[in-house]
Amino acid sequence: MIGIGLEQRSEAVLTAPETVGRSADSHNVAPRFSEPLPGGTEITIVERRSPWVHVELLNGRDAWVVEAAISEL
């Protein structure tokens, strides 16, 4: 996996009311979590594959979300 170096990672927040976190960068893969991620969830951007963004949550778990669901801080 080619990711973003630590110095290039950026903080962001989910701005959509609910966002399904996926286990890979495709709508055809299973959700990573049993429930959608709520709006306002703080995340760190790990990798970009437009229109997908690989993110890490504050608890260390990760998922792929659509770019349109986030706003960088």
> pLDDT for 6-60, tens place per residue?
557 899 999 999 999 999 999 999 999 999 999 999 999 999 999 999 999 999 9
Q: Are 12 and 71 in contact (CB under 8 A)?
A: yes
Range of the domain at 58: 6-72
Q: Are 12 and 4 in contact (CB under 8 A)?
A: no
Q: In this structure, is residue 23 part of a structural domain?
A: yes
Query: Tokens standing for 1?
Result: 């996996």
> pLDDT for 25-35, tens place per residue?
999 999 999 99
Q: In this structure, is residue 1 part of a structural domain?
A: no
Q: How many domains does the chain have?
A: 1
Read off the pTM. 0.88
